[in-house]
Structure 1
Amino acid sequence: MVGVDTHAAQHHYAAVNAATGEVHADQSFPVSSLGLAVAIHWATEFAPADRLLFAIEGAGNYGRQLALALLEKGIQACDVKPQLRKGSSANKSDRLDAITAALAVLRVDTAHLNRPKSPAQANVELQILIAARRDIERRSLSLRNSLNALVRRHDLGIVGGKTLRLSQIREFADIEPRNVLEAEATRLAREYLHQATNMRSIHKSLTEIIESLAPGLLDIFGVGPASAAVVLEAYSHHGRVRSEAAFAALAGTSPLLEASGIHSRHRLNPYGNRQLNRAINTVAISRTLTDPRTKDYIQRRTAEGLTPRNIRRMLRRYITRELYKYLRANLVEA
Structure 2
Amino acid sequence: MPEPQQAVIGGIDCHTDFHVAVALGPLGRVLGAESFPATSAGYRSTYEWLASFGPVAAVGVESTGSYGAALARSLAERGCGVIEVNQPHPHLRARRGKDDAIDAEAAARKVLSGEATAAAKDTTGIVEAIRQLSVARNSAVKARTAALCQLRDLLVTAPAALRAQLDTRRTLEGKASVCARLRPDTDRLAEPAQAAKAALRSLGRRIARLGAEASELERSLDRLVAAAAPETLSRLGCGTHHTATLLVAAGENIDRLSSEASFAHLCAAAPVPASSGRTHRHRLNFAGNRDANRALYMIAIARPRYCERTRSYLNRRVAEGKTKKEAIRCLKRFIARELYRTLRADLATLTTRT
Tell me the TM-score normalised to structure 2 length. Answer: 0.80
Hey, what does 1:10 align to over in structure 2? 18
Quick check: 2:130–2:248 contact (8 Å CA) kept in 1? yes
Shift of 1:143: 0.6
Hey, what does 2:148 align to over in structure 1? 144
Hey, what does 1:98 align to over in structure 2? 104
Assess, with a 3 A threshold, how the Cα gap between structure 1 residues 29 and 298 changes in structure 2: closer, same or farther: closer
Structure 1 residues 202-240: Cα deviation after superposition (integer angstroms, max 9, x where no partner): 111111111111113322222211111001111223313
* Aligned match for 1:219, one of 231, 234, 238: 234
**1:80 correspondence with 2:96:** no
Bigger drift between 54-63 and 198-207 goes to: 54-63
Distance 1:200 1:317 in 2: 32
Hey, what does 1:125 align to over in structure 2? 129
Assess, with a 3 A threshold, how the Cα gap between structure 1 residues 177 and 322 changes in structure 2: closer, same or farther: farther
Distance 1:326 1:270 in 2: 25
Distance 1:186 1:257 in 2: 55
Q: Which runs of 4+ in 1 moved over 6 A?
A: 257-260, 263-267
SS of the residue 1:15 aligns to = strand
Hey, what does 2:189 align to over in structure 1? none
* Aligned match for 1:108, one of 99, 110, 114: 114
Aligned residue identity for 2:108: A
Distance 1:93 1:270 in 2: 28
Hey, what does 1:324 align to over in structure 2? 340
SS of the residue 1:228 aligns to = helix
Shift of 1:32: 1.0
* Aligned match for 2:223, one of 179, 183, 208: 208
Distance 1:304 1:89 in 2: 48
Distance 1:232 1:309 in 2: 26
Quick check: 2:43–2:75 contact (8 Å CA) kept in 1? no
**1:244 correspondence with 2:249:** no
Quick check: 1:215–1:330 contact (8 Å CA) kept in 2? yes
Quick check: 1:211–1:217 contact (8 Å CA) kept in 2? no
Assess, with a 3 A threshold, how the Cα gap between structure 1 residues 291 and 190 changes in structure 2: closer, same or farther: farther
Distance 1:310 1:204 in 2: 36
**1:64 correspondence with 2:69:** yes
SS of the residue 1:239 aligns to = helix
Assess, with a 3 A threshold, how the Cα gap between structure 1 residues 243 and 9 changes in structure 2: closer, same or farther: same
* Aligned match for 2:47, one of 37, 40, 52: 40
SS of the residue 1:3 aligns to = strand
Shift of 1:16: 2.6
Percent identity among equivalent residues?
A: 30
* Aligned match for 1:197, one of 205, 212, 237: 212
Q: Structure 2 stretches of 5 or more lacking a match?
A: 1-7, 186-193
Assess, with a 3 A threshold, how the Cα gap between structure 1 residues 141 and 302 changes in structure 2: closer, same or farther: same
Bigger drift between 271-280 and 21-30 goes to: 21-30
**1:24 correspondence with 2:31:** yes
Shift of 1:277: 0.9
Structure 1 residues 120-175: Cα deviation after superposition (integer angstroms, max 9, x where no partner): 431121110111122112201111110111122223223499x9443333222234
Quick check: 1:152–1:160 contact (8 Å CA) kept in 2? no
**1:187 correspondence with 2:187:** no
Q: Structure 1 stretches of 5 or more lacking a match?
A: none
Assess, with a 3 A threshold, how the Cα gap between structure 1 residues 172 and 116 changes in structure 2: closer, same or farther: same
Shift of 1:288: 4.2
Quick check: 2:60–2:84 contact (8 Å CA) kept in 1? yes
How many residue pairs align between the two structures? 328
Structure 1 residues 58-107: Cα deviation after superposition (integer angstroms, max 9, x where no partner): 33332222221111122333233332244745333323333333233222
Q: RMSD across aligned C-alpha pairs, in angstroms?
A: 3.2
Assess, with a 3 A threshold, how the Cα gap between structure 1 residues 313 and 57 changes in structure 2: closer, same or farther: closer
Aligned residue identity for 2:48: H
SS of the residue 2:256 aligns to = coil
Aligned residue identity for 1:283: I
Quick check: 1:210–1:217 contact (8 Å CA) kept in 2? no
**1:333 correspondence with 2:338:** no
Quick check: 1:16–1:22 contact (8 Å CA) kept in 2? yes
Structure 1 residues 33-67: Cα deviation after superposition (integer angstroms, max 9, x where no partner): 122222322233222xx545333233333222222
Distance 2:238 2:298 in 1: 8
Structure 1 residues 241-291: Cα deviation after superposition (integer angstroms, max 9, x where no partner): 22222222222222457899xx99876543321100111222223334555
Quick check: 2:11–2:61 contact (8 Å CA) kept in 1? yes
Bigger drift between 79-88 and 137-146 goes to: 79-88
Bigger drift between 221-230 and 32-41 goes to: 32-41
Hey, what does 1:311 align to over in structure 2? 327
